[in-house]
Amino acid sequence: MKDGFIKVAAVTPEIRVADPIYNRKKIMEKIEEAERQRAAVVVFPELCITGYSCGDLFFMDPLLEEAKQSLIQIAEDTAGKNMLVFVGLPLAYRGAIYNVAAALSNGKILGLVPKQIIPGYNEFYETRHFAKGMGEPVEVILEGKNSVPMGGHLLFVPDSLPELKIGVEICEDIWSPQPPSISHALAGANVIVNLSASNEVTGKDCYRKSLVEGQSARLICGYVFASAGDGESTQDVVYSAHNMIAENGIMLAEAERFRNQSVYAELDIQRLNGQRRRMTTFQGSQGDYREIPFHLKKEETMLTRFVDPAPFVPGQEEERRKRCEEILSIQSMGLKKRLEHTNCRCAVVGISGGLDSTLALLVTVRAFDLLGLDRKGILAVTMPGFGTTDRTYDNALALIRCLGAELKEVDIREAVRVHFHDIGQEEGNHDVTYENGQARERTQILMDIANQHGGMVVGTGDMSELALGWATYNGDHMSMYGVNASVPKTLVRHLVRYYADTCGNRELTDTLFDILDTPVSPELLPPEDGKISQKTEDLVGPYELHDFFLYHMLRLGFGPEKIFRLAVYAFCDADYAQARYTPEIILKWEKTFIRRFFSQQFKRSCLPDGPKVGTVAVSPRGDLRMPSDASADLWIARLEACLE
């Protein structure tokens, strides 16, 4: 349960209809299996102690009595097991029969949750057997003098992880117009378990899956769905054991149907609670809910869930291409509106032959095409300096030519030398003044050319650079509209690659692929043997790591220790990453990220306008309201403890 992770399981035992004694043994076998897997929450199907498909046998006293005794026995057998177990059974109470989910932990029956929505349509005839469950809890005596609360408004809360609150609904509940899980979530439940017996018909699995994913998304919760399977009666229908575990709209684990396959996954409770805190429209209300405490020994949850090393980039090619097209459309539509509003028919873009300026030019071309403007109205300005290499210079010229923009070349070297002379800067002193002097000279040129032509300077800097402050204040930091301001560096590459794959121009494609192969560099220091001498990722660290840190810090609000743990898991342990980094290297660059992120906020506090394209952005007018003088000491101190 370290870092808010809790391992859950959706389990379907092989059963016999109307044989609680046999079913009890099979349920206990699955509980033993789940214990070996170290699952803390285990969910079985609806009415699994008897079988869902008993029909009028539910009216028979022998079945009801043996189901109750089997429940008591299963509860006793959970003694000493570090888990919360949910099993389903029919229960007679005050002249009616209820379809209930029983919560069991450490030898005790903690509570009984009755089904709220009772179906009586098509192949379902539960209204013939079961009464609608009550909401407010009542006390039920199962055996002896000890009573157990029964009602829909029960939440189960472990003492070792009080931020975890578990609510229960049963099968049809989620299919209804107003599922009980809505009120559960508003009362604080961040995990919903569903004991189900959902039969199969063609295409139903897709809709069922969409329900589970959708409900977990709208409620910002974990959702554990355990369904009946092989062993139920096939007199009229078939059950497939379609077990699922979802978290905030993402399917973490899904069983192969018709196999009674158990599925396991770790739910991130910290992530869910953090998302809810950010959603000001998620306003809870306790109402008449009762919280039932139970004991769980706190232990570290071993992760098996996928942690994406590239959270900004979709893993599937089809989805990635769709995302790229969507982002390019957002960027170009944003610029289109700004050009229209200012009645501007000229855009000025500084072209270096690098990735960011390439993307900015591609977006500008799209915006001009949308407006029906001549691409010659795009002034693509290349400004060779002390660090410019032949490769980037040639690529800049080829890119401009292929896209049909107007080329303007301004060599900045002499102007910078004059400036250095004026301020007493030695040209051989390659310090920050040497570098920033070139960047500010370029920005001055772009702004003045824009004034000459009644144009607008389109910014090229990306979000990763803004997060790190890797931009010259009032240099490349400034523009009149920053089209890349919320695009992370790891995604810039895919956007350019997507354009290369789809443009239909062989020369442009070849140029774009060469730009993609060029090391990321500001090219502010003289080349060595004609090649780039200043590689950004050697100086500030790999962008794939920084984008990982950025996503988990801003999007999810995680602390530095949890981000470090996830980064080690994603980049060191996972086969996908092939151990590209050691934990020590990750720690080093995460410290760099934190220090720079805090110290460079002043640059983000005065960003130019630019379109938000994803769930993370650093605009001071939108997603990031942060003081420029906040201390990073707390974050650094917590991070440094990770390897102690």
Summarize pLDDT for 371-422 with one digit per residue, the tens: 999 999 999 999 999 999 999 999 999 999 999 999 999 999 999 999 999 9
What are the residue ranges of CATH 3.60.110.10 in the chain? Answer: 2-294
Per the model's pLDDT, the better-predicted residue between 366 and 280 turns out to be: 366
- Residue 532: burial class (beta carbons within 10 Å; 0-12, 13-18, 19+): buried
The pLDDT assigned to 577 comes to 47
Summary mean pLDDT of the chain: 94
- For residue 578, what pLDDT band results from cuts at 50, 70 and 90? low
Residue 362: in which H helix or E strand, if any? helix 355-371
Q: Does domain 2-294 have CATH number 3.55.10.10?
A: no
> Over 70: is that where the pLDDT of 246 sits?
yes
Residue type, 112: L
Residue identified by tokens 């032949």 is: 390
Between CA 312 and CA 319 the distance in angstroms is 12
- For residue 574, what pLDDT band results from cuts at 50, 70 and 90? low
Phi, psi (rounded to 5 degrees) for 107: 85, 0
The pLDDT assigned to 576 comes to 47
pTM above 0.85, yes or no: yes
Residue type, 52: Y
121-137 residue pLDDT tens: 888 889 999 999 999 99
Q: Which residues are part of the catalytic machinery? A: 46, 115, 171
Q: What is the DSSP string of 277-290?
A: HH-TT-----TT-E
The pLDDT assigned to 300 comes to 85
- For residue 535, what pLDDT band results from cuts at 50, 70 and 90? confident
- For residue 573, what pLDDT band results from cuts at 50, 70 and 90? low
Beta bridge partners of 155: 291
Q: What is the DSSP string of 172-198?
A: HHHHSSS-HHHHHHHTT--EEEEEE--
Q: Are 528 and 422 in contact (CB under 8 A)?
A: no
- E strand spans, 467-509: 481-482
Mean pLDDT of 91-118: 97
What are the residue ranges of CATH 3.40.50.620 in the chain? Answer: 317-643
Residue 127 three-state SS: helix
586-604 residue pLDDT tens: 999 999 999 999 999 999 9
The pLDDT assigned to 219 comes to 97
Q: Does domain 317-643 have CATH number 3.40.50.620?
A: yes
Residue identified by tokens 């028919």 is: 345
2-27 residue pLDDT tens: 889 999 999 999 999 999 999 999 99
Beta bridge partners of 157: 293
536-556 residue pLDDT tens: 888 899 999 999 999 999 999
